[in-house]
Chains A and B, each alone.
Chain A
Amino acid sequence: MSERHINIKLKVWRQKNKSDKGNMEEYALSGVSTDMSFLEMMDTLNEKLTKEDKQPVAFDHDCREGICGMCSMYINGQPHGPLKGVTTCQLHMRTFNDGDTIVVEPWRSAAFPVLKDLIVDRTAFDRIQHAGGFISINTGAAPDANAIPVPKENADEAFLAAQCIGCGACVAACKNSSAMLFTAAKVSQYALLPQGQAERYRRVEAMVAQMDKEGFGACTNTGACSAECPKEISISHIARMNRDYLGAKSTSNAI
């Protein structure tokens, strides 16, 4: 596809730190190559700001190939921008047109406080995983890998759930700031595998309890999470988690 050069206007959320109120700032960028990734466009803006003795825009990024889950921009009202199944870092400027105004904000959720500009604190996700996102097997205690065959369909389905990159777009997309899709992806992965059975019900209870404690909202099945998820994690995992959760509650010894 041939390269074009476009002029764009950016409206970017600027916030000095956690306690600052923050506001939108406007910037103009000209001659942006359509072969650039969105983050490379932001790099260009930052280089320009630095040269003007202004503070560059802080944003999270690392792998720049859609797998680490670091990048997290709310672009024109959509987490990770307009394309389906694509993270911010994989979005390219060929998606935009000359003269476009692009609005860039951080994830918005009480459970993800803004740290600076477009960077938010997502450690709540880690704490949900600490609560139960594991199979309790110590190093060295494992049986031969082929001792337990796993039906290919189950393994494949578990893999699809395990593809979650922990970016938080599901929370940002949800009007209730629910973290159900993220939590369900992990619960479902283990629930589908024989290795995950022993702790199946304890796990779901612990993870859901932590999720609630972190202040994420309830799920009202609107499906925005799955629609905006860059890894297209299916909402069916939420249904599986709900079933397990009810099962766990009806047999639970926990108070």
Chain B
Amino acid sequence: MTALNSKIPAGSLGDKWKNHKFNLKLVNPANKRKYDIIVVGTGLAGASAAASLAELGYNVTTFCFQDSPRRAHSIAAQGGINAAKNYKNDGDSVYRLFYDTLKGGDYRAREANVHRLAEVSVNIIDQCVAQGVPFAREYGGLLDNRSFGGAQVSRTFYAKGQTGQQLLLGAYSAMNKNINSGGIKSFTRHEILDIVVVDGQARGVIARDMITGEVTRHSAHAVVLCTGGYGNVFYLTTYARGSSGTAIWRAHKKGAMMANPCYTQIHPTCIPVTGDHQSKLTLMSESLRNDGRIWAPSKQGDTRKANEIPESERDYYLERRYPAFGNLVPRDIASRAAKERCDAGFGVGTSKLAVYLDYASAVERYGRQEAGKKGIANPDQNTIETLGREVVKAKYGNLFDMYTQITGENPYKEPMRIYPAVHYTMGGLWVDYNLMTSIPGLYACGEANFSDHGANRLGASALMQGLADGYFVLPYTIGDYLAGTERKSIPNDTKEFMDAEKAVKDELNKLISINGKSTVHEIQRELGLIMWNHCGMGRTESGLKEGISKMRALKDQFQKDVKVTGTNEELNQTLEKAGRVADFLELGELMMVDALNRNESCGGHFREEYQTEDGEALRDDANFMYAAAWEWTGESGKQKLNKEDLNYEFVKPSQRSYK
């Protein structure tokens, strides 16, 4: 058994990171330029890491599959980023952010990691403002905040509904500064298809130039994977279409362990599925739960239009079930509650798989406030609604526009229909406190690792984690590893590189040579359905077993019958997709194996056999207080389980309550 050493430093919670930083080995400035570092991915995690490492003096090379680093999936994040600034004086603190995040994750994350995250959160906001990120401000010129789920304080910084865009453009600008000064070399439209391990250490990657098809070898002293989440295994999700598990999966097959792969976040407020043609689902940001109220009709099978259902026949079920947090309960809870309503026959819309997100009372409230500010004594309903809608538009305009574009309906006038959709993966590559995977020299940051969110991530904390890892954690910890390695440059023509290059080419040629009848798209859709039906919001032992056997059959079909047109020596989007689907087929299987192993419910992982009387997740701390780290053994679905016990030294895990 490979020993899993989390390398959590000793000491009190508040001192761990401070002491650890002091104890880490340093690389002297003159030597830094002798080290090469490859950063795969230029989302928040990758762009911030690349820029910070280059500023320290390392030679950084970045890769992304889009045509520009600025287009990474992080760009789509809408609602905001958390930080324990306590600018609102409402009782926030590093400890409270730590506690909320740990509890939100249903006590399945490491205390030390989460506390570090909360500590550096405050530096992130400083950094971003200095870069010129135009966060929302109040009239006094200071930064504004909003509230997100799982918290009773307002600690979320935002830039309208485009927070991810603004933060990523900030990190991209930091990259640009370093590209300009020669510290970063950026490759775009390149997909990483393998990690090269030499003498047990990660020493490079194999890339495919997506314009010409050329496969190339790149060596370095360390490799950092910031390749995002793997939620697209479910096909219909809120992810960008190109997001994949390929880089981390190929690292897994080279020895990096996958931790808690079954922990998936299903976000409660997305535009529901309408038909077979759909290629993605669109998120309606959690920030909308600040002001919007969620309800379903209190009568089963009610076919009236939303506006025709009187107030007395509306069930604001979150406010009813969770009076303390109301519409701002964590995502896993809000999603299950929506599913419960729909399963019980209270759903709305043609599919009956939707509930309402209603802005009427927010419009009313803001309208009255505005009328008051303007000195209108007895405003009529029309004035109130007009004024109220203006405020809502200023706060959430782009989200409302998006809803209109997709559905053809006007959410200012009738409530939005929403349903949960796959949104984020808490699982990922296992990393120690230094963010190093189980392959020495291979690091994972951002959504690609499993580190900080336990079994459920709170809203506005993925952006925080990505930037924390990239700006403030990895730049320290990677030096500790590099200081102990040789400085001479790593050749890229040794046997390990040549073998890896050949394996990648063979695999690509194999995909093209099958030339069967099933399109990649058909298989991908089927794969998504298997995952959604068997490993979605409600999981059972029998369902998972059935899912695993279906997945194996689908993999078989793929290997015998997939049809990939064109050649490897050209821009070939079908080939790109086929490679990603091949990996998802195996990754999906492991997710189900993991879900089957975890005989408890926690956070987003809900095993129907394990629930409390009122339908909440029932943990089994005695048997499952561990991170499950799966080790590749040469055959898909036959990974070996390694357990990292989670030791709660400072907080006593309890049944989560948001009542």
Contact = CB atoms under 8 A, between A and B. Distances in A.
- Do A and B come from the same complex? yes
Interface of A: 1, 3, 16-17, 33, 35-37, 39-40, 43-44, 47, 50-51, 53-56, 58, 60-70, 85-86, 90-92, 94, 115-116, 119, 121-123, 125-126, 129-146, 149-152, 155-156, 158-159, 162-163, 165-166, 189-190, 193, 195-196
Contacts of B512: none
Interface stretch (B175-183, B360-368, B609-617): B175-183
Interface in B124-140: 125-132, 134-140
B73 A195 contact: no
Contacts of A137: 127, 130-131, 174
Given A58-B571, A62-B240, A66-B402, A145 B134 contact: no
Contact of B126 (A130, A143, A196): A143
A196 B563 CA distance: 52
Contacts of A131: 180
Given A137-B130, A140-B123, A142-B126, 18 more contacts: A1-B409, A35-B277, A51-B519, A55-B566, A63-B76, A68-B76, A70-B71, A90-B402, A126-B68, A134-B176, A135-B130, A135-B173, A140-B472, A146-B142, A156-B137, A162-B166, A189-B132, A195-B129
B127 A142 contact: yes
Nearest to B142: A146
Contacts of B138: 152
Summarize A's interface: helix, strand, loop or mixed.
Answer: loop
B75 A129 contact: no
B565 A55 contact: yes
B405 interface: yes
B404 to A, nearest CB: 10
Please name the 10 residue pairs, one residue from A and one from B, whose CB atoms are nearest each other, closest first.
A149-B141, A1-B408, A142-B130, A134-B173, A159-B134, A142-B126, A134-B177, A139-B52, A145-B129, A62-B240
A64 B565 contact: no
A166 B70 contact: yes
B141 A141 contact: no
Interface in B160-191: 160, 162, 165-166, 169, 172-174, 176-177, 179-180, 186, 188
Contact of B280 (A35, A50, A64): A64
23 contacts: A33-B277, A37-B406, A40-B279, A43-B277, A43-B521, A55-B565, A61-B241, A62-B241, A64-B241, A64-B280, A65-B76, A68-B73, A86-B405, A91-B405, A92-B408, A116-B211, A116-B570, A130-B180, A137-B131, A141-B130, A143-B126, A146-B87, A156-B137
A196 B71 CA distance: 23
A54 B180 CA distance: 43
A121 to B, nearest CB: 7
A195 B129 CA distance: 8
Interface string B392-436: 000000000110011111000000000000000000000000000
Contacts of B134: 155-156, 158-159, 162, 189, 193
A125 to B, nearest CB: 7
Interface string B251-290: 0000000000000000000000011011110100000000
A142 B126 CA distance: 6
A17 B142 contact: no
B574 interface: yes
B565 A50 contact: yes
Interface residues of B, number: 79
B566 A130 contact: no
A115 B180 contact: no
B573 interface: yes
Contacts of A51: 519
B42 to A, nearest CB: 11
A157 B368 CA distance: 27
B38 to A, nearest CB: 19
A149 to B, nearest CB: 3
Contacts of B653: none
A130 to B, nearest CB: 5
Q: Which residue of A61, A116, A146 has the most chain B CB atoms within 10 A of its CB atom?
A: A146
B242 interface: yes
B571 A35 contact: no
Given A50-B563, A62-B242, A150 B173 contact: no
A238 to B, nearest CB: 19
A3 B73 CA distance: 30
A192 B261 CA distance: 45
B463 to A, nearest CB: 14
Contacts of B407: 1
B100 to A, nearest CB: 21
B296 interface: no
A92 B132 contact: no
A3 B351 CA distance: 14
Nearest to A44: B277
Interface in B175-234: 176-177, 179-180, 186, 188, 211
Contact of B71 (A16, A39, A69): A69
Nearest to A206: B180
Given A62-B242, A67-B165, A145-B129, A17 B174 contact: no
B137 A150 contact: yes
B248 to A, nearest CB: 19
Contacts of A121: 67
Contacts of A134: 131, 173-174, 176-177, 180
A5 B543 CA distance: 37
Contacts of A67: 75-76, 162, 165
B475 interface: yes
A50 to B, nearest CB: 5
Contacts of A195: 129-132
Contact of A50 (B69, B166, B274, B574): B574
A62 B66 CA distance: 8
B277 A40 contact: yes
Contacts of B137: 149-150, 152, 155-156
A36 B565 CA distance: 25
Interface string B549-580: 00000000000000101100011011000000
B500 interface: no
Contacts of A119: 571
Contacts of A91: 405
B129 A163 contact: no
Q: Which residue of B70, B159, B471, B566 has the most chain A CB atoms within 10 A of its CB atom?
A: B70
Given A54-B565, A67-B165, A60 B130 contact: no
A69 to B, nearest CB: 6
Given A64-B241, A123-B68, A37 B279 contact: yes
A142 B140 CA distance: 21
B143 A39 contact: no
B277 A139 contact: no
Given A135-B130, A149-B140, A123 B277 contact: no
B519 to A, nearest CB: 5
Contacts of A122: 67-68
Contact of A143 (B130, B131, B573): B130
Contacts of A39: 279
Contacts of B519: 47, 50-51
B541 interface: no
A24 to B, nearest CB: 19
A63 B240 contact: yes
Nearest to B166: A162
B51 interface: yes
B127 to A, nearest CB: 5
A193 B135 CA distance: 11
Contacts of B607: none
Interface string B55-74: 10000000000111111010
B132 A151 contact: no
Nearest to A129: B176
A116 B571 contact: yes
B85 interface: yes
B468 to A, nearest CB: 12
A58 B188 CA distance: 17
Contacts of A136: 177
Contact of A56 (B127, B211, B565): B565
